[in-house]
Structure 1
Amino acid sequence: MSEEKRVEKSAVIEDVRERFDEAEAVLITEYRGLDVGQMADLRGALREAETVYKIYKNTLVRRALDEGTPEGLVDMLVGPTALAFVEKDPGAAAKALKQFSAANEALIIKGGLLNGELLDEAQVRELADLPSRDELLSSIAGGLAAPLQQIASMMNNLLSEMASLLQALADKGDAPAAEEAEVEEPAAEEAEVEEPAAEEAEVEEP
């Protein structure tokens, strides 16, 4: 092997190792039978899920894996293999692979690696059925919005009730004052009744 080839292989091995270290998950597929156009479509679908789809020689991938890699992952590295390196959302990447494989039977999902744990094909498909990160965030945002709307509605109702209560108290406070004023009016009549006392005084003069 020439020095140039050796350097090239070392660079590929280092690239694979770094991608495994940095990825949130790695999903393994077999692409036998996919043409150039289908591969381009698959890469585009995975790119939308923030996932890089790469093809390496299986021997170089095996050399890049460290001793802590589950043995079952190495067993998947047979045949025409492509690796999907997930940058953020494993569920979104798994969903993209599942949807593509449903329309293109040539794509085979083998399994993968998530948080250091080995996934088989069935587990990757189960992962695809889970809500994506964006869907979860949207659901959480909607759940938070509903209580806030309820709180705002309750506050408006309380303010309305307080305003009605204050108005009722104000009306009740004005009414007795008017009644008291009406009750005090007969005092003038009492003064008129006392006038005959002068006549009695006139009768006593003899």
Structure 2
Amino acid sequence: MLKRAEKEKLVADLRERFGTAQAVFVTGIEGLTVAQMSELRKKLREENTHYQVVKNTLLRLASKETPVEPLTNYIEGATAVAIAYEDPVAVAKILTEFAKENKKFAVRGGVLSGKGISAEEVASLATLPTKEVLLAQMLSVLQGPPAKFVRLMSGILQKFLFALEAIKEKKAQAEAA
């Protein structure tokens, strides 16, 4: 049993984490083994995500009057939260893949940019490309117009040079004749 001071410290720590999080996901962990939880924590740690089992009342207290308050709609039973600090899409992918592999694990929902998202929305978030892939796609789109402009300008210059060469050859033929 946690003492009151420990509970207050835990609530304050969670509030602080919620303030810096990009997304928070609520998961059901009933029936998972310690080995399965360790495996999940390891995967999430690689994505700079904090994963913690929390009592429901403490989680409700910690989320009260914070941007992640909508997550209280998904709190029931044995609960853990995944607090994503960087890439919510990568975390959603890890959680949905883990849920497919472990039938006892469930993603109940979460909060993304202050808005509550259901388990179905978390699953659709997991289908999006990662942040790095999206940035690469955007960069390729931004590179397109300047590259086309350079090719266009070099084509004009090339045609001009061909025209000058043709005039030079014509003059050489006229002088030779």
SS at match of 2:171: helix
Residue equivalent to 1:7: 5
Structure 1 residues 30 and 141: alpha-carbon distance in aligned structure 2, compared to 1, 3 A threshold:
same
TM value normalised by structure 2: 0.85
Residue equivalent to 1:29: 27
Residue equivalent to 2:94: 96
Residue equivalent to 1:168: 166
1:47 counterpart = 2:45: yes
What value does the CA root-mean-square deviation take over the aligned residues?
A: 2.6
Q: Judge conservation of contact 2:70–2:115 (CA < 8 Å) in 1.
A: no
SS at match of 1:163: helix
Residue equivalent to 1:73: 71
Counterpart-to-counterpart distance in 2, 1:156 and 1:60:
66
Residue equivalent to 1:127: 125
Residue 171 of structure 1 deviates from its aligned partner by: 2.5
1:20 counterpart = 2:18: yes
Matches within 5 A, 1:51-200: 51-67=49-65, 73-177=71-175
Counterpart-to-counterpart distance in 1, 2:68 and 2:165:
75
Counterpart-to-counterpart distance in 1, 2:151 and 2:69:
58
Residue 50 of structure 1 deviates from its aligned partner by: 2.7
Residue 131 of structure 1 deviates from its aligned partner by: 2.1
Counterpart-to-counterpart distance in 1, 2:149 and 2:70:
53
Higher gyration radius (CA):
1
- How many residue pairs get aligned? The number is 177
Q: Mind listing any 5+ residue stretches in structure 1 that lack a counterpart?
A: 180-206
Q: Mind listing any 5+ residue stretches in structure 2 that lack a counterpart?
A: none
Q: Judge conservation of contact 1:49–1:96 (CA < 8 Å) in 2.
A: no
Structure 1 residues 177 and 75: alpha-carbon distance in aligned structure 2, compared to 1, 3 A threshold:
closer
**Which letter maps to 2:123?**
R
Q: Judge conservation of contact 1:28–1:109 (CA < 8 Å) in 2.
A: yes
Counterpart-to-counterpart distance in 1, 2:32 and 2:80:
12
What fraction of aligned residue pairs are identical, expressed as a percent?
37
